[in-house]
Amino acid sequence: MDIVIPLFRLFEPLDAIGPYELLANVPDARVRFVAPEPGRIADVLGAMRVDVPTRYSEVESCDVLLVPGGAGARLMLDNTEFIDWVRRIHETTRFTTSVCTGALILGAAGLLKGLTATTHWLAMDDLETFGATYTAERVVRHDKIMTSAGVSAGIDLALGLCALLSDELTARAIQLFTEYDPQPPYDSGSLATATPEVVARARELASGG
């Protein structure tokens, strides 16, 4: 079972590493990172470097494609070769998925037109420019296309994928093994629960403030 996660400069680390942690535990699964060019890829936060040996164009098919987000995802929207590759690989997958603003890449590839989809709340308007309808759900599935909301939501998407790729018992075991049992100290993880002050501060942080 071949699971491919493309990385690009300024990717959001948890978008990729969170799902990787869970999916790598699926029996008979192989998770591969690919990139525009082989080498060391830097994340958007600046301290993580991932050595990626494989160029994405070397991959002609896979069972699962998982596209992370981050500032780099927006830059990749202008890379027609990459977008064409996503569209082509989608034809071969069992599941084509995105985390956070990775949904914009699926949108640019024409995969979300006419569908409801989710992404980071700061990118909801951008998502709809590709013909999708934004929904605030944490994970949205349409047949083999799955999108998740921002950053940590990719873990929820990946856990659901674990069941689809194996079975619910295995997915529950992976959840236990990774002790994925969220109990956050604050209830500010979505626009539905965050106060206006929290939303304003989050916007400041997103813009570097």
The residues annotated as belonging to the active site are: 100
Between CA 199 and CA 78 the distance in angstroms is: 29
CB-CB contact of 39 with 100 (8 Å):
no
Q: What is the DSSP letter of 11?
A: B
Q: Would you give the distance in Å from CA 33 to the centre of its chain?
A: 13
CB-CB contact of 140 with 125 (8 Å):
no
Backbone angles phi, psi at 154, to 5 degrees: -60, -25
